[in-house]
Amino acid sequence: MGLTDEQKQKIEENRLKAIERRKARGHPYKEAVPVAKNNRIQMHGTKFKDTGGGFLLEDKETEEEDLDKLLEGIENETEELPLEFKECIECNSGFLTSYLWSTFDYPVCDGCRDHEDKHSLITRTEAKNDYLLKDCDIDKREPVLKFISRKNPHNPRWGEMKLYLHVQIEKRALEVWGTEEALLEEKEIRSGKREKTKVKKYAKQMKELRMQVRSSLYDRTSKASHTHKFGPDRYNEEEDNYTHDCECGYSETYEKL
């Protein structure tokens, strides 16, 4: 990229001033042409200082001043963000973040995490069956319970499992049913209803089986007590015998003496 017209003009002015100064040195009694001091120009993003002798020097001082001003402005605009510590409900110590907090919004530090017992995970199906929770109790009731997704270990082709924090599921069940006793009572009621349903289903199946047995016995008895009713006799000249047929399809062949 070449110089702009303004820059070319500035250089030309500096060249003419240099010529005038050389002439003035040759004629000391004449007044020298005044030269502007601290004159600066900028080319291609870089600032230059006019030396007054027809040369341009890179202005380091101005760049440093601009950088200082920029840094000072950034420092003034930057606000200090206070660090927010969470208090662990197990050990009461403060912590910035932890697995249980970042994953389930549960305020327990990593040092107190008990992933095998107290802070174990439970599937959505188990949560609904064991604690009698509905989908709305998990997904709609505030605060909505967080979960993580994992592939089903029994069959990878099945859908992903949703795993919830067991202790949060227990707390949600108490919010829904009020007390642990109420939850257990409801489970017993539902269990009794399921048993009654099983008994009724079994009784119905046994009744159908007895009906099938009776029907089979009736058919065999009816066939055993059947009396043939034969139609008119038909004479067979070639064999010299007679044949008559019953309504049930039975045919009897005999000879007459």
Burial class of residue 51 (count of CB atoms within 10 Å of its CB; 0-12, 13-18, 19+): middle
173 versus 50: the higher-pLDDT residue is 173
Residue type, 157: R
Q: At what angle do helices 166-177 and 180-224 cross, to 10 degrees?
A: 90
Neighbours of 137 (CB within 10 A): 19
Enter the tokens of residue 218: 């009736």
Burial class of residue 242 (count of CB atoms within 10 Å of its CB; 0-12, 13-18, 19+): middle
Asked if 119 and 113 touch (Cβ cutoff 8 Å), the reply is yes
Residues 198-243 pLDDT 10s = 888 887 888 778 777 776 665 666 556 667 788 888 888 777 788 8
Of 44-48, 131-135, 209-213, 244-248, which range is least confident?
A: 44-48
In whole angstroms, give the CA distance from residue 190 to residue 69.
Answer: 75
Per-residue confidence (pLDDT) for residue 33, from 0 to 100:
43
Q: Which of 71, 67, 33, 66 is nearest to 52 (CA)?
A: 33
Q: Which CATH class, in words, describes the domain spanning 120-178?
A: alpha beta
**Radius of gyration in angstroms for the set of CA atoms belonging to the chain, rounded to a whole number:** 53
Phi and psi torsions of 199, nearest 5°: -65, -45
Of 2-16, 53-67, 124-138, 162-176, which range is least confident?
A: 53-67
Enter the tokens of residue 206: 């046994």
Q: Which of 223, 251, 250 is nearest to 236 (CA)?
A: 251
DSSP 237: T
Containing 21, the helix (H) or strand (E) segment is: helix 5-26
Mean of all residue pLDDT scores within the chain: 80
- Strands 121-123 and 148-150 turn out to be unpaired
Asked if 172 and 156 touch (Cβ cutoff 8 Å), the reply is no
Residues 165-194 pLDDT 10s = 999 999 999 999 999 999 999 988 888 888
Of 102-111, 122-131, 139-148, 236-245, which range is least confident?
A: 236-245
Average pLDDT over residues 32-49: 57
